[in-house]
């Protein structure tokens, strides 16, 4: 069956045991288009009873699914990729309508989502066990790898499609069942859409279950659910710590990818054209709402003035406005509270002595009350203690901090609780590699920018940025377990 996927479809149903069902109390939540500020859809506000029903369905379906042949599980994920490809234009449109994603953001999301699905499709054939020699004569040790059981996936709104995909697809490929809880800001593209896409595959009913609703209302019952074996969470550090605690109490594995405050170091001999291309992209793509975007530009004092001037020129060249316009570079922020918090960071950074080079204000859009678009903002004379630098600002803001020597640059970069991503630009690769090795972060990229995700390469945050790794074998180990089976082939000496 091929679904038609538009925002006008009926999205007001939970996906449980292969059926679209109303929430137990029939309450719903509105979905607002951040560009137009209009309500474009309604989704269910699930209750704890709905959550229980989702886990009951996941438990009932898992064992049989886990026993399916690797090729059968692989085929389902390949069918999922075909469905994503077939619906790519509709999905890009949905991302625009639900989270204000520009066309670049939409197409990037599809590309990364299918990269993750493509990697996941290889997992069923790569779930290999081991054979270990024994110190006991006549004994053979076998280690068999199998699914954990039920994987809970809690995802954020900023890149909902690929961030849900990177957990859902491998979990299912490895023989687990899933309960997916998307963000209230992206219940369709991070959640219900997956039900529609999987309906076009041979996935048995109950292997994927989707509950929408506010984290503040049903989040705890999901994170602490006794039937959950793994809690794969992507979101803020604050919520992640709470969720990891609940998962831990329940002895479910907490797989946590959290916030960041990523540094972009530009040394004196860096190729400035390249550095500025990378800097402009990674500060402003998707309005800076990327966990691995550049939060702080740390630039050598000899090139500082030129860097600030040229970054400002580039920021001013970007086209701002509704994400519905195909040429828009910088669209709306997800909601008012996010927008206002970010503007407060800018204001207090200026009050603390920084210089506003450009931006720092709302861009009005015709016919839209209280626009969510914020002008690309460059701040100079920033120090690491100022609020736009020491907080994860999650907006189109580029605070630029000067440094005088490499040790100071590294010290500034590491002066944060986070450790997610980063980048360094230098002509001398030995210097760049030395800086990269000293940066306390899970991912770092030389002569590039920090926004990189390749499904076959482990991706992890350290410190307050997370626990565990996504992608490939690293995530496979979190969603599977090994069982030790030993065979005693000859009588063993049991003398006391």
Contacting residues toward ligand NAP, per CB under 6 A: 154-158, 163, 181-185, 214-216, 219-220, 222-223, 234-236, 239, 242-243, 257-260, 291, 392, 420, 461, 465-466
Do residues 55 and 14 make contact, with C-beta atoms less than 8 angstroms apart? no
Measured distance CA(171)–CA(156) in Å, rounded: 18
Measured distance CA(37)–CA(53) in Å, rounded: 33
Nearer to ligand NAP, 261 or 377 (CB): 261
Least distance CB 290 / ligand NAP (angstroms): 7
Q: How many CB atoms sit inside 10 A of residue 419's CB?
A: 25
Measured distance CA(467)–CA(469) in Å, rounded: 7
- Nearest in space to 298 (alpha carbons), one of 321, 326, 275, 320: 275
Count of CA atoms in the C-beta half-sphere (13 A) of 13: 12
**DSSP helix/strand/coil, 333:** coil
Measured distance CA(224)–CA(252) in Å, rounded: 8
Handedness of CA 233, 238, 242, 248 (dihedral sign): positive
Nearer to ligand NAP, 163 or 208 (CB): 163
Least distance CB 152 / ligand NAP (angstroms): 9
Residues classed as catalytic: 257, 291
CA separation, residue 404 to residues 77, 302, 439 (Å): 51, 8, 17
Measured distance CA(96)–CA(90) in Å, rounded: 10
Nearer to ligand NAP, 168 or 308 (CB): 168
Q: Which residues contact 39 (CB under 8 A, 6 or more apart)?
A: 30, 31, 32, 33
Nearer to ligand NAP, 79 or 293 (CB): 293
Handedness of CA 338, 248, 17, 178 (dihedral sign): positive
Least distance CB 107 / ligand NAP (angstroms): 18
- Nearest in space to 212 (alpha carbons), one of 80, 56, 23: 23
Nearer to ligand NAP, 260 or 395 (CB): 260
Nearer to ligand NAP, 174 or 222 (CB): 222
Nearer to ligand NAP, 223 or 278 (CB): 223
CA angle 298-415-389, nearest 5°? Answer: 55
- The secondary structure of 367-403 as a DSSP string is T-SS--BB--EEEES--TTSHHHHS---SSEEEEEEE
Least distance CB 376 / ligand NAP (angstroms): 19
Do residues 270 and 425 make contact, with C-beta atoms less than 8 angstroms apart? yes
Measured distance CA(293)–CA(278) in Å, rounded: 11
Least distance CB 236 / ligand NAP (angstroms): 3
Nearer to ligand NAP, 40 or 431 (CB): 40
CA separation, residue 28 to residues 12, 211, 274, 281 (Å): 7, 12, 48, 37
Place of tokens 């990189």: 452
Least distance CB 231 / ligand NAP (angstroms): 8
Do residues 176 and 62 make contact, with C-beta atoms less than 8 angstroms apart? yes
- The CA radius of gyration of the chain, in Å to the nearest whole number, is 24
Least distance CB 182 / ligand NAP (angstroms): 6
**DSSP helix/strand/coil, 79:** helix
Least distance CB 257 / ligand NAP (angstroms): 3
Fill in the DSSP letter of residue 36: T
- Nearest in space to 29 (alpha carbons), one of 158, 184, 179, 161: 184
Nearer to ligand NAP, 33 or 357 (CB): 33
């Amino acid at each position: 069956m091929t679904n038609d996927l538009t925002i006008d479809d009926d999205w007001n149903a939970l996906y449980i045991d292969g059926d679209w069902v109303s929430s137990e109390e029939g309450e719903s939540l509105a979905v607002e288009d951040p560009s137009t500020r209009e309500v474009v859809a309604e989704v269910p506000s699930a209750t704890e009873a709905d959550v229980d029903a989702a886990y009951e369905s996941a438990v009932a379906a898992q064992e049989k699914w886990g026993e399916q042949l690797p090729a059968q599980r692989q085929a389902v994920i390949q069918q999922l990729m075909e469905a994503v490809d077939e619906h790519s234009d509709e999905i890009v449109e949905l991302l625009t309508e639900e989270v204000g994603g520009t066309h670049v953001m939409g197409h990037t999301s599809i590309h990364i989502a299918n990269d993750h699905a493509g990697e996941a499709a290889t997992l069923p054939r790569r779930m290999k066990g081991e054979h270990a020699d024994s110190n006991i004569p006549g004994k053979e040790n076998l280690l068999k790898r199998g699914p954990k059981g039920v994987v809970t996936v809690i995802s954020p709104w900023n890149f909902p499609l690929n961030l849900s995909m990177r957990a859902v697809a491998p979990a299912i490929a490895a023989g687990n069942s899933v309960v997916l809880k998307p963000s209230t800001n992206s219940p369709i593209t991070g959640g219900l859409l997956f039900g529609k896409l999987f309906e076009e595959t041979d996935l048995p009913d109950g292997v994927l279950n989707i509950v929408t609703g506010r984290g503040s209302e049903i989040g705890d019952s999901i994170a602490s659910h006794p039937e959950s074996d793994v809690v794969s969470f992507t979101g803020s550090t604050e919520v992640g710590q709470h969720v990891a605690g609940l998962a831990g109490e329940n002895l479910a594995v907490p797989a946590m990818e959290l916030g960041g405050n990523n540094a972009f170091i530009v040394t004196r001999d860096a190729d400035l054209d390249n550095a500025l291309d990378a800097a402009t992209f990674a500060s402003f793509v998707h309005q800076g709402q990327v966990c691995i975007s550049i939060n702080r530009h740390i630039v050598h004092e000899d090139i500082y003035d030129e860097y600030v001037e040229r970054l400002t020129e580039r920021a001013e060249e970007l086209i701002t406005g509704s994400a519905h316009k195909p040429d828009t570079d910088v669209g709306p922020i997800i909601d008012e509270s996010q927008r206002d918090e970010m503007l407060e960071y800018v204001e207090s950074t200026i009050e603390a002595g920084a210089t506003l080079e450009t931006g720092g204000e709302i861009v009005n859009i015709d016919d839209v009350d209280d626009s969510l678009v914020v002008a690309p903002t460059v701040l100079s004379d920033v120090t690491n203690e100022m609020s736009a630098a020491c907080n994860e600002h999650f907006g189109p803001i580029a605070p630029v901090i000067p440094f005088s020597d490499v040790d100071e640059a590294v010290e500034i970069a590491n002066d944060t609780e986070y450790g997610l991503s980063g980048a360094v630009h230098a002509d001398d690769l030995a210097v760049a590699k030395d800086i990269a090795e000293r940066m306390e972060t899970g991912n770092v990229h030389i002569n590039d920018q920090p926004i990189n995700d390749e499904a076959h390469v482990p991706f992890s945050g350290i410190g307050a940025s997370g626990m565990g790794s996504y992608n490939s074998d690293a995530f496979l180990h979190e969603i599977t377990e090994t069982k030790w089976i030993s065979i005693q082939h000859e009588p063993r000496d049991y003398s006391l």
